[in-house]
Amino acid sequence: MEAFTEKFGVGQPVRRKEDQRLLIGGGRYTDDFNFEGQAYLAFLRSPYAHGRISEIDTEAAKAAPGVLGVFTGADMATDGVGRVETDIPLTALDGTPIFKTQRLALPTDKVRYAGEPVAVVVAETAYQARDAMELIGLDVEQLPPVVTALQAATEGAAAVHDEKPDNCALHWENDTPDAYEAVAAKAHKIVTIELTNNRVVPVPMEPKCCTAEINQETGRMTIYAPFQGGRRVQGAVADLLFGGDGDKVRQISDNTGGGFGTRSKIYPEIIAICYAAKKLRRTVKWLGDRSETMVSDLHGRDQVNSAALAFDENGKILGYRLETYVNIGAWVTENGARLAIDGGGRILGGCYDIPVLYYSCRNMMTNTVSTDTYRGAGRPEANYIVERLMEKAAKEFGIDSRELRRRNFITDFPYTTQMGMKVDCGDFAACMDMALKDADWENFAARRADSEARGKLRGIGLASFVEGAGGRPEEIMRVRFEEDGSVNIYCGTYSHGQGHATVYSQILSDKLGVPFESINLIQGDTDTAPEGASGTYGSRSSQMGGVAIIRASDIIIEKGKKIAAHLLQAEADDVTFEDGDFKAKVGSVTMQEVARAAYDPARLPDGLEPGLDETYHYTRDGGRDDQSYPNGCHICEVEVDPDTGDIELLAYSAADDCGTVLNPLIVHGQVHGGVAQGIGQALTEHLVYDEETGQLLTGSFMDYGMPRAKHLSDIKAAFNPIPSTNNELGVKGAGEAGCCGAPPAFVNAVLNALEPLGVKHLDMPLTPNNIWHAIHNTESEGASA
């Protein structure tokens, strides 16, 4: 056992076992699934951002060549298809519940954003479906759109939903502002900032797509679509189309070209496609193109923040005030309103001891695509605000920002935040020291002088951060030994790039002493996934799925002791398990020998069922309190060309505490990926709507700036692992840290570079155009002064 666990056990940098199949073209994505006689679907999408539907004329489309059916929301309502309502347990301070929208897959009353699906065409070919879609007549009485959160909050703004004329789905507060105002009144200094957190779109490699296959004999539907957990799709489609009969619906995701949160939701397109397939009793396929994905996938971020920190004369924080307007889009989705409250809100003060907090969050509905979970899910926004504030405060105090952070770091654990979350452990100062060393911070002045000699401006910036990880507090995993000696892990989680096949195999190999190569991951199919499985999001898989594997293995070991005792003619109480062997005074047998015996009734003790096959339903005892809190410090160094506004990222150092590092190679990749997405938001990415028409102006890669290799530098990733006390693996999650650390570190670095020119504030993204204007606007202000 030692030979292979030394090489493949927990903590080893094992190469991902799933990559070989993908590298040689063996991946199967949704578009790879095709069936004889399948039909093709196209969506008619609203060209208007806001308006009342007067008529949808489908007659010409129905008569077009190859058309099998044209369906609208009225057709679905006639057939009894219900509405999707999200059950969000949020209330205002006075107990008023959040405004909940009830969404039809295809609207019948109003269109509420440009790109909203309003009708579907199904035809024999994809081209016929698209051609016929162009023949549908859509008559809309246009209404003025509201595009930004502040627009929506303006008195007299058009109502996105007539039932909520103020457009505010929920004004949430943690408390009254009285306590903050009391400490602010005696503060030595109050530092304020106004910030925008720009809207982005997740952009998975695989565009949105779906195939709904119908079994002609049974009427059972199989849905092929990229999701981060299929049970939710199965449940929604069963409830809306099959009277709640989950056995009538199967969902399969084989490979997925990226998730980032957007693949964890139920989209109206899925319901409409499944409806059309059921109605026609034909397999129906839809493949959206990139622009269609941009106008229909849930977006991320989009906040406007007004924040203040009150300090005493020694630079210690007395209180924190934050007022946020969140643009949650046209529909109240599962997490759109929750992200800033339960996501980022739980770690609102970042790494810092915040004695008093007042937090006001207004969730505003607009005529845009809804915002929801995107990598980091509220935590990048929260950390960005407080890190920008700390950097500004250091300048106003005239002290080093590193010193100001040290004075305010949380040092006594467990620490309960003002939002009620208990951070169990961490060493924020140690992470910062590690990052400072890797970044060679002390010799920055010499590097800055070199840049100045070349006419460039060099800057360095850091950000300390903490996040909450773990997501929903339940997960189910199944571990089964097969008769051939292999072991299958049937997953409740779903791997869409995280390397679960490798990491789960490492965990199980360590625990049971079985060869790494003999372990298989079975996932992405509701027919094999454990009942009640949740899926993957919120950096939860290792701490939820991994722990469930450990506990299922414990049950296997206890059963294995009984089998081993029977084989060894010993008492079960005398049998121990260590390093893959069951041992008694009279001898020992391996786990593999016990597993083989488990399938031979003649070799089993009386009353014991054959097989080693156990499922564990893991529920965190403390619910939200038992989450983990990954944290770290990221530092980046940039060079700015003052003539063009162009920014070059020169160096990036990340020091992360993600608890026990299960596989350093994979965790490095997670850090790199998160940093790339965080730099993308800070430097190039911005989803923009025209504020007068509500039209999406950045609907393709010609307009939406994805980060490229040239925008990144080498990334140094180091770990300061302090095992979490909230799970037996000690893991904290690693997939979203980069998105938390990169934006504030990058923006702080650019502000540091531009400080000699008098630039004091920037909002993301820091495009060359935005930087050039910031420089020249500052010069103009200086000249006029």
The whole-number pLDDT of residue 6 equals 58
Question: Which has more pLDDT, 521 or 330?
Answer: 330
- Measured distance CA(475)–CA(617) in Å, rounded: 6
- Measured distance CA(324)–CA(170) in Å, rounded: 12
Mean pLDDT confidence for 15-31: 85
**Residue 476 pLDDT level (bands cut at 50, 70, 90):** confident
Mean pLDDT confidence for 51-62: 97
For tokens 């909450």, the residue is 468
The whole-number pLDDT of residue 449 equals 97
**Residue 527 pLDDT level (bands cut at 50, 70, 90):** confident
**In terms of DSSP bridges, do strands 357-365 and 317-329 run parallel, antiparallel, or are they unpaired?**
parallel
Cα–chain center distance at 267: 16
Mean pLDDT confidence for 648-658: 96
The whole-number pLDDT of residue 85 equals 78
In contact, 293 and 269? CB cutoff 8 Å: no
Mean pLDDT comparison of 429-433, 494-498, 572-576, highest-scoring range = 429-433
pLDDT at 2 over 50: no
Show the tokens assigned to 628.
């983990």
* Least confident interval from 10-14, 253-257, 532-536: 532-536
C-alpha dihedral sign at 289, 295, 297, 303: positive
Q: Give the whole-number percent of the chain exceeding pLDDT 90.
A: 68
The whole-number pLDDT of residue 475 equals 80
Mean pLDDT confidence for 616-641: 86
- Measured distance CA(437)–CA(753) in Å, rounded: 20
Secondary structure (3-state) at 272: helix
- Measured distance CA(172)–CA(324) in Å, rounded: 10
How far lies 222's CA from each of 76, 250, 256, 489, 678, in Å?
20, 5, 17, 22, 36
Which of 566, 591, 768, 618 lies closest to 684 in space, CA to CA?
A: 768
114-129 pLDDT, tens digit each:
999 999 999 999 999 9
352-373 pLDDT, tens digit each:
999 999 999 999 999 999 999 8
Show the tokens assigned to 64.
């077009």
- Measured distance CA(225)–CA(440) in Å, rounded: 47
- Measured distance CA(61)–CA(636) in Å, rounded: 56
**Residue 539 pLDDT level (bands cut at 50, 70, 90):** low
User: Cβ contacts of residue 606 below 8 Å, gap of 6+?
Assistant: none
Mean pLDDT confidence for 65-86: 93
User: Cβ contacts of residue 432 below 8 Å, gap of 6+?
Assistant: 402, 405, 406, 462, 464, 633, 655
The whole-number pLDDT of residue 727 equals 87
In contact, 327 and 149? CB cutoff 8 Å: yes
The whole-number pLDDT of residue 109 equals 95
- Measured distance CA(203)–CA(293) in Å, rounded: 8
**Residue 499 pLDDT level (bands cut at 50, 70, 90):** confident
Dump strand ranges (E) for 301-441: 303-311, 317-329, 357-365, 415-416, 422-423
Mean pLDDT confidence for 192-220: 92
Mean pLDDT confidence for 668-672: 90
**Residue 772 pLDDT level (bands cut at 50, 70, 90):** very high
Mean pLDDT confidence for 37-44: 97
C-alpha dihedral sign at 88, 348, 350, 354: negative
pLDDT at 424 over 60: yes
Q: Look over the chain and give the mean of its residue pLDDT values, rounded to a whole number.
A: 91
pLDDT at 23 over 80: yes
The whole-number pLDDT of residue 582 equals 92
2-27+471-619: which CATH topology?
A: Aldehyde Oxidoreductase; domain 4 (3.30.365)
* pTM of model > 0.85: yes
Question: Which has more pLDDT, 273 or 662?
Answer: 273
The whole-number pLDDT of residue 146 equals 97
**Residue 4 pLDDT level (bands cut at 50, 70, 90):** very low
The whole-number pLDDT of residue 287 equals 93
The whole-number pLDDT of residue 691 equals 95
- Measured distance CA(98)–CA(100) in Å, rounded: 6
- Measured distance CA(626)–CA(470) in Å, rounded: 8
Q: Do domains 2-27+471-619 and 421-467+628-784 have the same CATH topology?
A: yes
Which of 506, 516, 527, 528 lies closest to 486 in space, CA to CA?
A: 516
Mean pLDDT confidence for 153-159: 96
For tokens 């889009």, the residue is 329
pLDDT at 785 over 60: no
In contact, 469 and 375? CB cutoff 8 Å: no
Mean pLDDT comparison of 13-17, 83-87, 224-228, 485-489, highest-scoring range = 485-489
**Residue 624 pLDDT level (bands cut at 50, 70, 90):** low
Question: Which has more pLDDT, 731 or 190?
Answer: 190
The whole-number pLDDT of residue 545 equals 82
Task: Identify the architecture of domain 421-467+628-784 in CATH.
Answer: 2-Layer Sandwich (3.30)
Secondary structure (3-state) at 784: helix
Mean pLDDT confidence for 672-698: 95
Annotated domain spans of the chain: 2-27+471-619, 421-467+628-784
- Measured distance CA(677)–CA(737) in Å, rounded: 11
